[in-house]
Amino acid sequence: MDIVERYFPDLTTQQRQQLNQLPHFYHEWNARVNLVSRQDLENLEVKHVLHSLAIARVFSFVPGAHLLDLGTGGGFPGIPLAILLPHVQFTLIDGTGKKIAVVQELIKTLSLANATALHVRAEMFRQRHAFDFVVSRAVAPLQQLLLWSQPLLRKKHQHAYPNGLIALKGGDLASEINALSGKSRDYVEIFAVQDFFPEPAFEEKWIVYVQG
């Protein structure tokens, strides 16, 4: 995880050990369960791990904050963020049981006490007003993500940014933002991942915040 350490030089020994277990784990399990594409598997450190950690370059979370990773798939962005932010609680959900079973195994392998993975579809999840932020990566359009997220967000705010949705997105976002309701469009902020990690893989990659 040399590139990750380049951008996060203050990692603890435990964090380095946890991150360094990820390539072996995903190579082993991807042969049985399609967690990431084969092409991306060879670029796991940049395209999945570092990409997930871009959220932590924009947002700071107080101790005890609780984030929901909606549609986590193979564990992104939740697992890398849980490694980097041990003071934050993470719940990772996905509707595909095979993927969540692998994520649960990864949480156990890494001894991540601050992460829990559940097999449940977003529209069936019932932990109302339980989370400070919902994070997501390549799951659905912003309008749908916000619809799922709003009932799950806490009413009380304790961060510089009000509770809301944080989505990792790619490409032209104009149509997705225009599809939001007028009020929601007024509370959107977009950050270029390349501003934090100047890597070719992050061209036209964005961190999108929508107030909940």
What is the reported pTM?
Answer: 0.96
What pLDDT score was predicted for residue 67?
98
Give the helix ranges, DSSP H, for 76-179.
Answer: 78-84, 97-110, 142-149, 174-178
Residue-level pLDDT at 183:
85
Residues 186-199 pLDDT 10s: 999 999 999 999 99
Structural tokens at position 153 = 């967000």
Tokens (6 digits) for 56: 């932590």
In the numeric block, the tokens 């990659």 are attached to 205
> Mean pLDDT for each consecutive 10-residue tract of the chain (212 residues)?
94 97 92 80 92 98 98 96 98 96 97 98 92 95 96 96 97 94 90 97 97 94
Q: How many angstroms separate the CA atoms of 47 and 45, rounded?
A: 6
Q: What pLDDT does 30 receive? A: 87
pLDDT at 141: 95
Q: Which domains are assigned to the chain?
A: 2-211 (3.40.50.150)
Residue 31: the pLDDT is: 84
Distance from C-alpha of 75 to C-alpha of 137, rounded to nearest angstrom? 10
Distance CA 155, CA 173 (A): 28
Distance separating alpha carbons of residues 87 and 209, to the nearest angstrom? 22
Please enumerate in sequence order all residues whose Cβ is within 8 A of that of 9, keeping only pairs 6 or more positions apart, or say none: none
State residue 36's pLDDT score: 80
Q: What is the pLDDT of residue 42?
A: 82
